[in-house]
Structure 1
Amino acid sequence: MLNFLSAPIITSLGVLIGSLVLYYLQTKISERVINNFQASQTWIPENELVLLTGGSGGIGKRIMEDLSRKKVRVVILDINQPTFELPENVTFYETDITSAESLSETGAAIRKSHGEPTVIVNNAAVFHHGTILEKPVEKLRQTFEVNIISHFLIMKEFLPFMIRKNHGHVLTIASIASFVTLGDMVDYACSKASALAFQEGLRQELKYWYKAPNVRTSTVHPMWVRTPMIDGFTKYQADFRQPLLAAKDVSQVVVEHIITRKSGQTIVPRHSSVIGSLRAFPLWLQEAMRSYLSRIVLRVGIKRAADENHSSRVP
Structure 2
Amino acid sequence: MQRRRGYLPREGIHLGFLLSSFESCILSAPMIVLGLACLCVRLVPHAVPSTALARLPSQRSTLIYLGLAVFARVQKACSRAAINNWVSPKPPDLAQEIFVVTGGTTGIGRSCVDLILSRSPKARVAIIDIVQPETSLGEAVRFYKCDLSDREQTELVAKQIKEELGDPTVLINNAGLSRGKYMSEIDWQNITATLGVNLIAPFLLIRAFLPAMIARNHGHIVNIASLSAYAPPAGLADYAASKAGMLAMTESLRLELRHVHKATSVRVSAFVLSFVKTPLFKGETNQPNFLSPLLDVDTVGEEIFGAIEQGASVVRYMPAISGIVASIWAYPRWFQDVILNGTAKLRVDYRGRQHIDEHGRVSG
Instruction: Pick the TM interval, shorter chain.
Output: 0.7 to 0.9
In the other structure, the counterpart of 2:84 is: 35
Q: Post-superposition shift, 1:4?
A: 2.9
| Conserved? CA contact 2:149–2:192, under 8 Å | no
| Residues 1:148 and 2:199 are matched in the alignment | yes
| Conserved? CA contact 1:206–1:213, under 8 Å | yes
C-alpha distance in 2 between matches for 1:77 and 1:57: 11
1:6 to 1:159, Cα distance in 2 relative to 1, 3 A: closer
In the other structure, the counterpart of 2:255 is: 204
Q: Post-superposition shift, 1:275?
A: 2.7
| Conserved? CA contact 1:267–1:273, under 8 Å | yes
| Residues 1:245 and 2:304 are matched in the alignment | no
In the other structure, the counterpart of 2:344 is: 295
In the other structure, the counterpart of 2:360 is: none
SS where residue 101 of structure 1 aligns?
A: helix
Percent identity between the two aligned chains: 31
In the other structure, the counterpart of 1:278 is: 328
| Residues 1:256 and 2:306 are matched in the alignment | yes
Q: May I ask how many residue pairs the two structures share in their alignment?
A: 295
46-55 or 269-278, which deviates more: 269-278
Q: Post-superposition shift, 1:301?
A: 6.4
In the other structure, the counterpart of 2:145 is: 94
| Conserved? CA contact 2:177–2:280, under 8 Å | yes
* Structure whose alpha-carbon radius of gyration is higher: 2
Alignment of 1:1-315 (within 5 A): 4=54, 11-71=60-120, 72-231=123-282, 233-234=283-284, 239=286, 241=288, 242-292=292-342, 294-297=343-346, 300=347
Q: Deviations over 1:133-168 (max 9, x none)?
A: 132331122111111111111122111111111111
Structure 2 segments unaligned to the other structure (5+ residues): 1-44, 46-51, 352-364
C-alpha distance in 2 between matches for 1:164 and 1:229: 37
C-alpha distance in 2 between matches for 1:180 and 1:58: 23
C-alpha distance in 2 between matches for 1:148 and 1:284: 31
C-alpha distance in 2 between matches for 1:16 and 1:179: 33
TM-score, normalization by structure 1? 0.86
Q: Post-superposition shift, 1:205?
A: 0.9
Q: Post-superposition shift, 1:54?
A: 0.7
| Residue identity matched to 2:341 | S
Structure 1 segments unaligned to the other structure (5+ residues): 305-315
Q: Deviations over 1:259-293 (max 9, x none)?
A: 1110110011234432332222222222211112x
Q: Post-superposition shift, 1:3?
A: 6.0
Q: Post-superposition shift, 1:75?
A: 0.5
1:6 to 1:161, Cα distance in 2 relative to 1, 3 A: closer
| Residue identity matched to 1:254 | I
| Residue identity matched to 2:337 | E
TM-score, normalization by structure 2? 0.75
SS where residue 280 of structure 2 aligns?
A: helix
